Amino acid sequence: MKLDEFLRLNAPEDLAALTAAIAKTSIDVWDSVPFKSGLLTETNPSGETQKAIDVYSNDAFVEALTSTGLVAEVASEEMEEPASSKGSVSVAMDPLDGSSNVETNNPLGSIFGFYSRKLPASGRRLVGALYVTYGTMVTLTFSFGKGVHRFVAVREGGAMPFQLLGVNLRLPDKAEVYGFGGSRREWVPEVAAFWHSLEGKGLRNRYCGTFVGDYNQVLSRGGIFSYPALVKKPRGKLRVLFECAPMAFINEQAGGYASDGSGNILDIEPRALAETSPLYIGSADLVREVENAVSKR
Ligand code: F6P
Ligand code: MN
C-alpha cells in the first residue's frame, strides 16, 4: 500500500498532510547530503557547529510544513525562535539527527513531534510523532496514537514514493541490543553498573552514534537505548521537545517505556525549547530496571 492511501484511511486530515509533506521533503534532504556537507561557521542555540546540510534540512522542512497552512509554529533544534504560521498544529523537530555522522556514512535521521499546544509543551500534548531514517533504506516510522506504522521509499521512475513495510509494530518480548551515548567515565555510577549487567542478560552492544539509528534497532530487536545522566551534566544531552518526547511517544505505542530516570519522559513539562533530559528508552522491563537504580541517587 502507498503512503497517501494509508494516510487517507488511517490518519486525521491535518496529520496526514503534514506526514505527506515530510515524506516528500525527506527525499530532497537525503538527495542533498553528498552536496552539502561543508562546514559553516555559525553555531546552533545549543552551541554545536552547523553544517550546510543542517541548515538545508531545517529550511526545507520548515518550508514544507508551513506551506501546508496547517501549522501554528515549527520549533527546531536548529533555530533560536520557532517559525510561526496560521494553522493549529505545533511541530517540534530535529531536522537532521546525527549530522556529525555524515562523513562516516552512519545512518542519519529526522524527528518530528506534532503537538496540540503552543511550545514548549509536555509530551502528553503530542497527537502524533514521526521519525525518518536515512540508512540502508529511507524509512518513515510514525504513530498518531493508534499503533506504530512504517513505510519505505522505493524508486519508481523519477520519484521515490513510500510503500508500506509494516503496521502495528511492537517491541519484541526478547531484548537483544543496547546502545548508550556519551563517555563511560562520565556516566553516573548507577548507569555504568546497569550497562555492565546487560551482557550477562544476553544483550549485545550495538551503537552507531545517531539517536534515530540507535533507537530504530531497539524497536526492531528489543533492548534499550540511553543517553544517560552524566556526573557533570545531570540533565543529559538530548532535547525533550525535539528528540526525547516524540520518540517516547512512538516507543510507548510500540509497547515500550521511556524514562528520564525518575518518571515517564512524556510527563516532563519543559520550560524552554532546548531543555534536555537524560533518556532511557526501549523495552519496558529494562527501562524500569535502570530507572529504579538511577532514581535512588
Ligand atoms: O542529537 C545529538 C546526537 O547526535 C544524537 O543523535 C546521538 O545519540 C548523540 O548526539 C551522540 O552523542 P555522543 O557522541 O556523545 O555519544
Ligand atoms: Mn539530534
Flag whether pLDDT at 38 surpasses 70: no
Rounded to whole angstroms, the Cα distance separating 245 from 112 reads 10
Flag whether pLDDT at 10 surpasses 80: yes
Ligand 1 atom showing the smallest separation from residue 109 Cα: 6
Q: Is 179 in the pocket of ligand 1 (CB under 6 A)?
A: no
What percent of the chain shows pLDDT beyond 70?
Answer: 97
Give 193-228 pLDDT, tens digit per residue: 999 999 999 999 999 999 999 999 999 999 999 999
CB-based contact 153:162 (threshold 8 Å): yes
Ligand 1 atom showing the smallest separation from residue 225 Cα: 8
SS3 assignment, position 265: helix
Q: Which ligand is nearest to the CA of 96?
A: 2
Ligand 1 centroid to residue 98 C-alpha, Å: 6
Which of 210, 215, 242 for mutating ligand 1's site (highest number of atoms within 8 Å of CB)?
Answer: 210
Are residue 31 and residue 153 in the same domain, yes or no? yes
Are residue 94 and residue 225 in the same domain, yes or no? no
Q: Is 278 in the pocket of ligand 1 (CB under 6 A)?
A: no
Domain contains 172? no
Domain contains 269? yes
Q: Is 190 in the pocket of ligand 1 (CB under 6 A)?
A: no
DSSP 38: P
Question: What is residue 51's predicted lDDT score, i.e. its pLDDT?
Answer: 66
Average pLDDT, the chain: 96
Rounded to whole angstroms, the Cα distance separating 265 from 223 reads 17
Q: What is the mean pLDDT of residues 159-183?
A: 97
Q: What is the mean pLDDT of residues 223-249?
A: 98
pTM value is: 0.96
Region of 190 on the Ramachandran plot (φ > 0 left; ψ -120 to 50 alpha; else beta)? alpha
Are residue 25 and residue 110 in the same domain, yes or no? yes
Flag whether pLDDT at 18 surpasses 70: yes
Are residue 197 and residue 112 in the same domain, yes or no? no
Of the candidates 48, 265, 282, the residue with the CA atom closest to the CA atom of residue 179 = 282
Q: Is 98 in the pocket of ligand 1 (CB under 6 A)?
A: yes
Are residue 35 and residue 138 in the same domain, yes or no? yes
Q: What is the mean pLDDT of residues 83-102?
A: 96
Q: What is the mean pLDDT of residues 110-129?
A: 98
Domain contains 171? no
Are residue 70 and residue 128 in the same domain, yes or no? yes
In the chain, the amino acid numbered 97 is: D
Flag whether pLDDT at 41 surpasses 60: no
Question: What is residue 144's predicted lDDT score, i.e. its pLDDT?
Answer: 98
SS3 assignment, position 71: strand
Are residue 112 and residue 214 in the same domain, yes or no? no
Residue with cell 488511517: 10
- Of 112, 147, 166, the last residue of a domain is 166
Q: What is the CATH number of the domain that holds 191?
A: 3.40.190.80
Are residue 7 and residue 131 in the same domain, yes or no? yes
The alpha carbon of 285 is separated from its chain's Cα centroid by a whole number of angstroms, namely 21
Ligand 1 centroid to residue 212 C-alpha, Å: 10
Q: What share of the chain is helix, strand, coil (3-state, %, to 5)?
A: 35, 30, 35
Q: What is the CATH number of the domain that holds 12?
A: 3.30.540.10
Name the residue range of residue 158's domain. Answer: 3-166
Cα dihedral across residues 81, 181, 126, 28: positive or negative? positive
To the nearest 10 degrees (0 to 180), the angle between helices 13-32 and 52-66 is 150
Are residue 50 and residue 110 in the same domain, yes or no? yes
In the chain, the number of structural domains is 2
Beta bridge partners of 223: 177
Are residue 87 and residue 234 in the same domain, yes or no? no
Which of 237, 240, 279 for mutating ligand 1's site (highest number of atoms within 8 Å of CB)?
Answer: 237
Sheet containing 279-282: order of strands: 204-205, 177-180, 223-227, 279-282, 257-259
Q: Is 213 in the pocket of ligand 1 (CB under 6 A)?
A: no
Residue with the bigger pLDDT between 250 and 297: it is: 250
Beta bridge partners of 150: 141, 166
The pLDDT confidence band at residue 35, using thresholds 50, 70 and 90, is confident
Flag whether pLDDT at 42 surpasses 70: no
